Chain A
Amino acid sequence: MTVEAARRGGEALGDSALRPDGVLKVTGEFAYSSDLWADDMVWGVTLRSPHPRARITGIDVSEALAVPGVHAVLTHEDVPGEKFYGLEHHDQPVLAIDQVRYQGEPVALVAADHPETARRARDRIRVGYEVLEPLTDARRAALDPSYPKVHGDRSNVVRHQPIRVGDMAHARRVAEVVVRGEYEVGMQDQAFLGPESGLAVPAEDGGVDLFVATQWLHVDQEQIAPCLGLPTGRVRLTLAGVGGAFGAREDLSMQIHACLLALRTGRPVKIVYGREESFFGHVHRHPARLRYEHGATRDGRLVYVDAEIVLDGGAYASSTSAVVGNAASLGVGPYEVPNVRLDAYGVYTNNPPCGAMRGFGAVQACFAYESQMDKVAEACGLDPVEVRIRNAVAEGSRLATGQVIDMPAPLAAMLEDARAFPAPPPTGTADVRDLPGGVSNTTHGEGVRRGVGYAVGIKNICYSEGFDDHSTARVRLETVGGEPAALVHTAAAEVGQGLVTLQAQIARTELGVRQVTVAPADTGVGSAGSSSASRQSYMTGGAVRAACEAVRERVIELAEERLGRSLPGASLHDGRVVAADGLAVASLAEVLAGRAVEETREFRHRRTTALDPLTGQGDSHVQFAFCVHRAVVDVDVELGLVKVVELAAVQDVGRILNPLALEGQIHGGSAQGLGLALMEEIQVRDGVVRNPSFTDYLIPTILDMPPMRTRILENADPHAPYGLRGAGEPPTLSSTPAIVAAVRDATGRPLTRIPVRPEHISCG
């Protein structure tokens, strides 16, 4: 089904329903967290450490407090409750205590009646630092026990996850072809356009109401309340408009700070980060060093993989443990490999903290294993697609963790599909605008080489390794103005992925009503879990469906009472109760008779298990998703410029719920992968970030993004609601290695580090 055909087909499940928040978004009236305003509000700012590692010898706030217009200046001593927080480990201080561990670590807070006043006061806080040599060598942090510790006596290794399968000694003897590679992935930033921001309003009950852009309201709440010394119920969160997330809003940024200032001043407090501060205000994608050795038979069948992955987690753990779990469990890719020795490490250093970003640990590994697959292909004299097909997992395959894929995994067919895409027309000399660099009139194709590359990725959907994940939905059906109307209430964060659209589509479909309202997300309803791990269609979609089903059952019961007969197999359609024979027996308005039917349901996915700490064995993942990319590039080998001519993607999504929004997710994931392949890297020198701006940290423009072809498959996952498969992340994995493979194809260069720079291509 094409997007064009589906458009305007309606607004039920499977249609290209338009965004209910779209009108407000195209006019700019949609209220993002940075647009919030309250009477009497004051502005909060954060004093951050200029040093990546230092002992704090003293903090003097007296001058700052004396600035007219200043309402409060806070340090760690003013944190009334727990002093530390964190997603997985409570290792991060709300405000630095006695030492700082990364450049940009929050040290003190100021609230003042004007942001400029607050900044001026911040500049008058005197902090004494005894500067120490930063610990920035992630590999030594992982492997050298003598390397100094970032956190006192705690090991620098946040997590080490081995995978051990088969008999490596035997495998090495059997392998006829061995290829080795060392790869490096630079630190990528999520770079959402709407910086961290929120408004904290002190409440009469001594608690606080926080309006904030986040990915998971309840996990914020659980971390904020203890630090404020408040019971959870007195910290209420409402989702404000989210200007992009991509993982960067999983961790707290200004949440506790704004609440502290609000409680201290008794005034609403707004904090909005600037772009530079945003680079310091959230975690980034882990930079990685990856060493891989693949052994294969001469006909290209993998015999073993021996790998070491070191992920630099920076100063605080954030979600490093889970990122390591993904890198390890998905570290050989979607291939059947009988013998595996793999060690994934996530470590502390004094570099910027790293955590979640779209693709989450699977991205780094994918670049390495896909680069290796091309090497295997070359060594065996095989086509890169063919070597992948020969090793591709399928339903029933056993992964390196021992987990059996018990859902469709038509990877070989997807690869064939990718190969079968028509080739984009060769760049002639006729239209010089299509050449790399894009500048008119000076290049006529001399030195421009076409290259084609393929890559596949495997991504887990939902939270893994035994995490008891769930989502909650409350659905209410009533009559409004004589028409049946549904209200859907969850705490799930719409971050741009189109979740509010989908929730409404589900309710329309399940309840047979046209009018559906999705209530603002807040903590007034149970947790929906995070808008992460491509999980919300599955989890909150599943919860909304479950709540709708419960409402439907009750409505049918009411209809049965009203009609005095049972209605086995009845359903709701077009505002009516419809009997099993397809005849409408009553209108919803009649059945409801002014009453409201409301049901709340929690949805849980099937249980997973932890990975064995020594062997990495376990059924750790809920669901697997796959995407295949073909990239076609033109490389100006004289100037080192790459133009991605076309990206084509094949993805299996189980079931298409909204074609238009789905295509958007594939475009977006591919674009972020393109950025990592060709331009995006936070430059860190001795723990100091050198490019915290959009002039120096480049993300792709619309001119960098090529046209895309997509082929979307629907092989239902029998375990998932509607058979769907999470879709947001997989394209981010495979886009990067496909582009790099295409550049290699064009240039013959090894290109083992991303982002690829012009000097790696021709000007080195």
Chain B
Amino acid sequence: MDASIRLRVDGQWRTLDVDTRTTLLDALRERLGVTSPKKGCDHGQCGSCTVLLDGRRAVTCLALAVAHDGAEIVTAEGLADGEDLHPVQRAFLEQDGLQCGYCTPGQVCSAVGMLEEVKAGWPSQVTEDLAGPPELDDEEIRERMSGNLCRCGAYPNIVAAIRQGAR
């Protein structure tokens, strides 16, 4: 069954008819040609498809497109202003926080969303004092980024990149 939905993707409103079974990830990739979010597992187990969904980082492979009619989506592509990279993207590039790059758009979106969460004072699993505001040290960065797998193991440089991007 088809449904007509509107999505604001990287600043542009797009209208499309989707089968109700279509995930947000497939709607972006197959229907709108937005291939910046990657499909690494399609089951919420790798984080490669992470975008900012209504301002928060979210995986798109386990969300039905039809349930997000009217949503605002920012992908890694939309974080950059043409050639002008987002500071977090620049940091990934300069710190070599990537190798094959397949997980990178998801890492970048996740990092941007994560920095906002820290700003909002959200705790993480490694935040010792749940009552106070978290401090973004390396251990916090690592726990908070643990939903984005990188098989190339660029992890030390990703930590460095996020440290740089957080400044």
Contact = CB atoms under 8 A, between A and B. Distances in A.
Contact of B143 (A274, A438, A670, A708): A438
Contacts of A438: 125-126, 143
B127 to A, nearest CB: 7
A85 interface: no
Given A193-B102, A433-B139, A438-B143, A702 B150 contact: yes
Of B33, B99, B139, chain A has the most CB atoms within 10 Å of the CB of B99
Contact of A433 (B38, B126, B150, B157): B126
A34 interface: yes
Nearest to A496: B100
Contact of A32 (B38, B93, B152, B156): B38
B76 interface: yes
B70 interface: no
Contacts of A80: none
B154 interface: yes
Contacts of B108: 26, 28
Contacts of A693: 41, 43, 45
Contacts of B76: 26-28
Label chain B's interface by main secondary structure: loop
B100 to A, nearest CB: 3
A281 B99 CA distance: 23
A193 B151 contact: yes
A188 to B, nearest CB: 12
B128 A695 contact: no
B87 to A, nearest CB: 11
A35 B150 CA distance: 19
B156 A707 contact: yes
Label chain A's interface by main secondary structure: loop
B43 A275 contact: yes
Interface stretch (B1-9, B52-60, B77-85): B77-85
Contacts of B156: 663, 667, 705, 707-708
Contacts of A701: 142, 146-147, 149
Contacts of B130: 440
B35 A28 contact: yes
B151 A244 contact: yes
Interface in A655-690: 660-661, 663-664, 667-672
Interface residues of A, number: 66
Interface stretch (A17-25, A58-66, A403-411, A551-559): A17-25
Interface string B123-160: 00111101000000011011101111111111111110
A660 B96 contact: yes
B104 A195 contact: no
Nearest to B159: A702
Contacts of A19: 93, 96, 98
Of A22, A32, A195, chain B has the most CB atoms within 10 Å of the CB of A22
B100 A194 contact: yes
Given A243-B100, A663-B157, 14 more contacts: A27-B79, A28-B35, A28-B37, A34-B38, A192-B151, A193-B103, A194-B40, A243-B40, A275-B42, A434-B139, A438-B143, A667-B154, A695-B45, A702-B146
10 A-B pairs closest in CB distance:
A28-B36, A671-B153, A496-B100, A25-B101, A28-B105, A243-B102, A694-B45, A668-B153, A496-B99, A701-B146
Interface of A: 7, 16, 18-19, 21-23, 25-32, 34-35, 37, 190-195, 241-246, 272, 274-275, 431-434, 438-441, 495-498, 660-661, 663-664, 667-672, 693-695, 699-703, 705, 707-708
